[in-house]
Structure 1
Amino acid sequence: MNRVFYPQGIFAIFFLSMMLLLVGCGQSNEPEELYLEGKTMGTTYHIKVFADSEKLATLDLQAEITQLLKEINQSMSTYIDDSEINNFNRLSAGEIMPISADFRAVVAESIRLGESTKTLDVTMGPLIDLWGFGPDKKPTNRPSDEVLADMLARIGVDKLVLTEQGLAKTVAGLELSFSATAKGYGIDKVAELLESHQLTNYMVEIGGELRVSGVKPDNISWKIAIEQPDTEPGVRKVHRVLEPGTNGIATSGDYRIFYTMDGITYSHLLDPRTGMPSRYDLVSVTVLHPSAMTADGLATALTIMGMEKAQHYAQQHDLAVYLIAKSDDGLVTYSSPAFKPYL
């Protein structure tokens, strides 16, 4: 069953509109602003670059970025029949498939995050299918405990074998889905491309996840808005504004994507430890990290952990995270020690 890259950061439009408001144009004597946009990974991208006009005139960044993202999509999109990820998903157990450098980078970080967090699992494709998630991301039925137990025994990053020769699976039917890491990787690759041209003042956004570097004209810092999660449907307000420095930024949350089944309200995120949709208290998780891919994966993993375990994990690993959780007394927030300097 094909799965598209849907925006894991559910604030894509909100973040983008806030950024366009906050990063307004410079004066005539300031560096030129280049703005690029397009479609990739089942979503959209938006890029801002500030640089000398003569330097920008020597480059065709739109063409370079389009080709770069096309190659990443060809590697990691399950909507392309002959993509690298689909070729692996069709692979038999025990076979080793040589993989590209891009694919290796995403697999390696996905395995690392999966082993570290226990709540991010890029092999959950069959579990997602089992729940019957459709285009609206709502399940049609609840699998029995026996069926869930059998499925959990057949998925997990521990069933991936990454070697110098390539990638293999130890159980038949194991599938990969990079919806929590591929967008961030695409952002990182675009950032690397810009920096290869000595462009260091930029903002790259794909599907609501971001990476910013340097400053705007007049040495003004980039500013990014975190959305207030308890607003009425269709209403979007700013919760906090942060100055992320040079970092990737990812936000995950469940307060706008949830459903009720058998009288129980569930998140759209599945917990790989139980096979069930998450029912924890976190409604918004924002992560800052030099790698947008790592921030992307961590935002999802921490959301599934819940407030208490997410706090502990952030402190243990010295992560810059901002958490918003629901409680009987309303919303409560937490900013890790590593996050506070950015507020």
Structure 2
Amino acid sequence: MKRHAHRAGPAWKGLVLFALLALVGCDRSPEAHRFEGPIFGTGYHVTVYGDFSDRQLASLKDGIDDALEDVDRLMSTYKPESELSRFNAAPVGEPFALSPPTAQVIDEAIEIGELSNGAFDVTVGAAVNLWGFGPDKRPDEIPSDAEIAEALEEVDFRALHLNGNRLTKTKPVYVDLSGIAKGYGVDHVAARLDALGVTSYLVEVGGEIRTRGTKPGGEPWRVAVEKPVSRERSVQRVLELEDVAVATSGDYRNYYEEDGRRYSHTIDPRTGRPITHHLASVTVVAEQCSTADGLATALEVLGPKKGMALANREDIAAYFIVKTDEGFTTELSDAFHAYLAEPPSEGGEQ
């Protein structure tokens, strides 16, 4: 069987947003300070504006690294010693004490699961692993119907019961927070910067972004939605953001092919199979990056029609890029229009 794999590191999600560093960096003022480093199998970039001493800048860098490492240590499925991995290995029916950050993420994940009627389900891990997009090795063969049905027996976010910081599973489930934890990592860094008195910043982790304030002169932060093509990086649309977060879910940077068929890393928890519709990417703007992250995944699973219906019903700011025979088209929810910058350049939206 002919195989082709295209993966963007560990399956924290397809990454299809990026800060316009050429734009945020066009001001050569010494007040602009940038930090970067590896995390979550991808990387982070943080830009802050302010008058900081060298000692303060070192403290900011340490705070950013510590915040992201905290999330990785708690919520990674790639680390057997992580809090999440230990919960996954814990017995059914036994309350497991979670740290406040993990409990917060689980609570929001359950809420988004209910909102989307199971299109977002953090217990989809068994199916994700079956298809080879988790920490397990990719299978030699495409999973059979019987294997998928067996994996689906362990997919049910309603089997999770959170009481305060104590989480209990009522049947064997494998929790995978990759559809929301990276967004929470962005929020965790933002909270650390807020606590350190930073009033103008952009935090980006693997394409998920949160902003505070504006750049000097009142200029908003500008963020690009990337065109959903796997072999290049080019701008589809530019957003202008202030005190909000943005996340995108897309399937074109993490997939594999077999016998000419493409298998997306985005698994529909309701079927146990990769999505097959033509929604190439979903971008969501929200107050919290974890919210944007989880909602983008849910809407991507739902597809263009049901996803847009949910976005408009729940006042979610969402931007869809849909693949057609002629290329790509875009659809915007009612709440999304407020974040658009100038119209795209020639060759952008079609």
TM, length-normalised to structure 2: 0.87
Distance in 2, matches of 1:145 and 1:260, equals: 19
> Which residue is equivalent to 1:95?
94
1:6 aligns with 2:11: yes
SS in 1 for 2:66: helix
Report the Cα distance in structure 2 between the residues aligned to 1:136 and 1:257, rounded to whole angstroms: 15
Who is 2:71 aligned against? 72
* Count of residues in Structure 1 that have an aligned counterpart in Structure 2: 331
Is 1:280 aligned to residue 277 of structure 2?
yes
2:311 is the alignment partner of 1:314: yes
Partner of residue 108, structure 1: 107
Distance between the aligned counterparts of 2:55 and 2:285, measured in 1? 29
Residues 9, 143 of structure 1: CA spacing in aligned structure 2 closer, same or farther, 3 A cutoff?
closer
Q: Percent identity?
A: 42
Q: What is the deviation of 1:163?
A: 0.8
Letter in 2 for 1:221: P
Quick one: structure 1 residues 10 and 68, their matched pair in 2 at CA, closer, same or farther if it must change by over 3 Å?
closer
The equivalent of 1:237 in structure 2 is 234
Partner of 1:161: 161
Q: Using the TM superposition, give the Cα deviation of residue 255 of structure 1 relative to its aligned residue in structure 2, in angstroms.
A: 3.0
8 Å Cα contact 1:130/1:143 also seen in 2: yes
Per-residue CA deviations over 1:106-127 (Å, capped at 9, x if unaligned) read 1111111112112111112221
Structure 1 gaps, min length 5: none
SS at match of 1:176: coil
Question: C-alpha separation between the residues in 2 aligned to 1:27 and 1:36?
Answer: 15
Select between 139-148 and 221-230 the one with higher mean Cα deviation: 139-148
CA-to-aligned-CA distance 1:307-328 (integer Å, 9 cap, x gap): 1011101001101111010123
| Counterpart among 296, 300, 304 of residue 297 in structure 2 | 300
**Secondary structure, aligned partner of 1:188:** helix
Secondary structure of the structure 2 residue equivalent to 1:234 = coil
Change (3 A) 1:342 1:144: same
Contact 2:103 2:165 survives alignment (8 Å): no
2: CA distance, partners of 1:327 / 1:21: 31
2:344 alignment partner in structure 1 = none
How far apart are residue 25 of structure 1 and its match?
4.5
Matched residue of 2:268: which SS? coil
The answer as to whether partners of 1:138 and 1:268 remain within 8 angstroms in 2 is: no
Cα displacement (A) at 1:202: 0.3
Q: How does 1:142-161 map to 2 (within 5 A)?
A: 142-161=142-161
Displacement after TM superposition at 1:191 (Å):
0.6
Is contact 1:9–1:250 with CA below 8 Å preserved after alignment? no
Listed as ranges, the gaps of 5+ residues in structure 2 are 1-8, 341-350
Using the TM superposition, give the Cα deviation of residue 99 of structure 1 relative to its aligned residue in structure 2, in angstroms: 0.9
SS at match of 2:101: helix
Report the Cα distance in structure 2 between the residues aligned to 1:297 and 1:85, rounded to whole angstroms.
Answer: 17
In the TM superposition, what whole-angstrom CA distance separates every residue of 1:102-146 from its partner, at most 9, and x where no partner exists?
Answer: 110111111111121121111122212223447799654233323
For structure 1, which segment, 105-114 or 133-142, has the greater mean C-alpha deviation from structure 2 after superposition?
A: 133-142
Bigger mean CA offset, 328-337 vs 138-147: 138-147
* Residues 165-187 of structure 1: CA deviation (Å, up to 9, x unaligned): 60111113x11111111111111
- Give the SS at the match of 1:67: helix
| Compared CA separation, residues 5 and 100, structure 1 to 2 (3 A) | farther
Secondary structure at 2:308 match in 1:
helix
Contact 1:280 1:305 survives alignment (8 Å): no
In structure 2, what residue type is equivalent to 1:195?
D
Q: Determine the C-alpha separation between the residues in 2 that align with 1:168 and 1:312.
A: 33
Q: Distance in 2 between matches of 1:283 and 1:136?
A: 25
For residue 59 of structure 1, report the CA deviation from its aligned partner.
6.7
State which drifts further: 123-132 or 40-49. 123-132
Check 1:283–1:139 CA distance in 2 against 1; reply closer, same or farther (3 A cut).
farther
CA 1:256/1:136 → structure 2, altered by over 3 Å: closer, same or farther? farther
Distance in 2 between residues matched to 1:139 and 1:219, nearest whole Å: 52
Equivalent residues in 2 for 1:22-61, closer than 5 Å: 22-26=23-27, 28=29, 32-53=31-52, 57=56, 60-61=59-60
The answer to whether the 8 A contact 1:252-1:285 is kept is yes
Mean alpha-carbon deviation: is it higher for 175-184 or for 65-74? Answer: 65-74
Q: Is the 8 A contact 1:6 1:43 kept in 2?
A: no
Residues 184, 165 of structure 1: alpha-carbon distance in 2 compared, 3 angstrom cutoff: closer
Which protein, 1 or 2, shows the higher relative CO under an 8 Å CA cutoff with sep ≥ 6? 2
Q: 1:331 Cα deviation (Å)?
A: 1.6
Distance 1:260 1:193 in 2: 41
Pair 139,216 (structure 1): closer, same or farther in 2 beyond 3 Å: farther
1:66-116 C-alpha deviation (Å, 9 max, x unpaired): 222222221111232221111101111101111110110111111111121
Following TM superposition, by how much is the alpha carbon of 1:257 offset from its aligned partner in structure 2, in angstroms? Answer: 3.4
Distance in 2 between residues matched to 1:235 and 1:151, nearest whole Å: 35
Letter of the structure 1 residue corresponding to residue 105 of structure 2: V
| Offset at residue 262 of structure 1 (A) | 4.9
Q: State whether residues 267 and 278 of structure 1, in contact with CA within 8 Å, keep that contact through their aligned partners in structure 2.
A: yes
